[in-house]
Structure 1
């Protein structure tokens, strides 16, 4: 079946739950405003199942209601994994056989972003979701620059260390800061490297759209839930594929 509806209490009942904040003092009027918004969003009937003041002049809501919209699964477009998923042992073997040197990865949180949880989950040996990070791979040399790294400093580190790939994590998304920072980063690398010689540019974070690689000027975007093995496998796939034969 390619056409589906949301599921709440019974199959196909169209029930959904949404949350949002309105700039209004917590009150019955505020609840009414939330219901009005829900109705305009196509939720009918709808009910406020939770509301809570967020300071003096803001209220957070959770609204539950029914929608009549249908989803056509056949028209869903996503970025599928187009490379084999490797174990650390397999990745190390491919790098050693093909590159015959360590694969150098430079990672950082750029701009004012101080949230290193994402980049650390991919790079640090402790890893994420039961998988070891890239530091665990014997044939991968990791340079983790940490948080709030300027774009010029990132480019300099990539040039100095001979990076094969640059990983950028962006968690702060207010006013599309993650998009602006990524565009700035990709432009700086295009300027610093001759055509065809720059390292792979990979961006990651929970609010990225994985289909925006061309628009942002990067080679790959990884969204929420990405594991170290996925990143390592992609890097190995791309760097060894473009390496000239001996």
Structure 2
């Protein structure tokens, strides 16, 4: 039997939710009426404006609180389940030594016009994030961080020159689905430039990616917000040196 739930606000199952949004209207009572009209059209009844603030000439930010009648079928939710164990750094290094018998090569970058390196640096740099060191700290990894605003042709060329096992791309800028367009361009460029046997593992990450869209975007894995360096390292060693090792084409 499916597990059906309602949103929780003040009491269990009361259906209360909080919603924030911006309308291109000046901040006044009419603006609050417009916010309530939108909330009603979205199925919030009753609803109240609990916060409003002008954020520029002719724009107002709102927080609306109200009840919805929608139900959620938890068992119908689709997610990407983690199909690999999260390993300690010493376990990752040991697997790379034993299975690959060489350094695991990772090339990372922010592509297109994206200049936000916080995500890629958190995964790659020694300083890492949330108390975890980045992939540069793994003895059996060789990491090339190309930084921000890297063109796709430059990324493909560098990955080929480094004989990369994996390419990690971070995308934070998402206006007009730029992250999706850039990812499709990148995956197409790698398919065109390299045969399947020499193509690196393609991994992208960012707060607005849908992890279920990996196949649609032409990549091997998508990581969302909250991903840690240890998770990425564990995935790479699982995919490249795990039970089904993706061996590199012999050097030559």
Aligning the two structures, in what range does the TM-score lie when normalised by the shorter sequence?
over 0.9
- Compared with structure 1, are the counterparts of its residues 244 and 201 closer, same or farther at alpha carbon in structure 2 (3 Å cutoff)? closer
Normalised to the residue count of structure 1, the TM-score between the two structures is 0.97
Counting only pairs closer than 5 Å after superposition, residues 1-246 of structure 1 correspond to structure 2 as 2-240=3-241, 241-244=244-247
Q: Secondary structure at the match of 2:167?
A: strand
TM-score of the superposition, structure 2-length normalised?
Answer: 0.95
Distance between the aligned counterparts of 1:143 and 1:170, measured in 2?
17
> For 2:240, what is the secondary structure of its paired residue?
helix
- How many angstroms apart in 1 are the aligned matches of 2:77 and 2:51? 32
Q: Deviations over 1:7-54 (max 9, x none)?
A: 111111111001111111111111100000001101000011111112
The answer on whether the counterparts of 2:46 and 2:67 sit within 8 Å (CA) in structure 1 is yes
* Secondary structure of 2:191 counterpart: helix
Q: C-alpha deviations, 1:75-121, integer Å up to 9, x for none?
A: 01100100111110000000000100000000000000000000001
SS in 1 for 2:235: helix
Count of aligned positions: 245
Counterpart Cα distance in 1 of 2:11 and 2:224: 31
Q: Distance in 1 between matches of 2:238 and 2:151?
A: 28
Structure 2: any 5+ residue segments left out of the alignment?
A: none
SS at match of 2:183: helix
Q: CA deviation at 1:244?
A: 4.8
What per-residue deviation string (whole Å, max 9, x for no partner) do you get for residues 136-185 of structure 1?
10001110000000001100110111100000000000000000000000
- Looking at structure 2, the residues matched to 131 and 242 of structure 1 have their Cα atoms a distance apart, in angstroms, of 26
Q: Distance in 2 between matches of 1:215 and 1:30?
A: 40
User: Aligned-pair RMSD on alpha carbons?
Assistant: 1.2
CA contact (8 A) 1:109 1:149 kept: yes
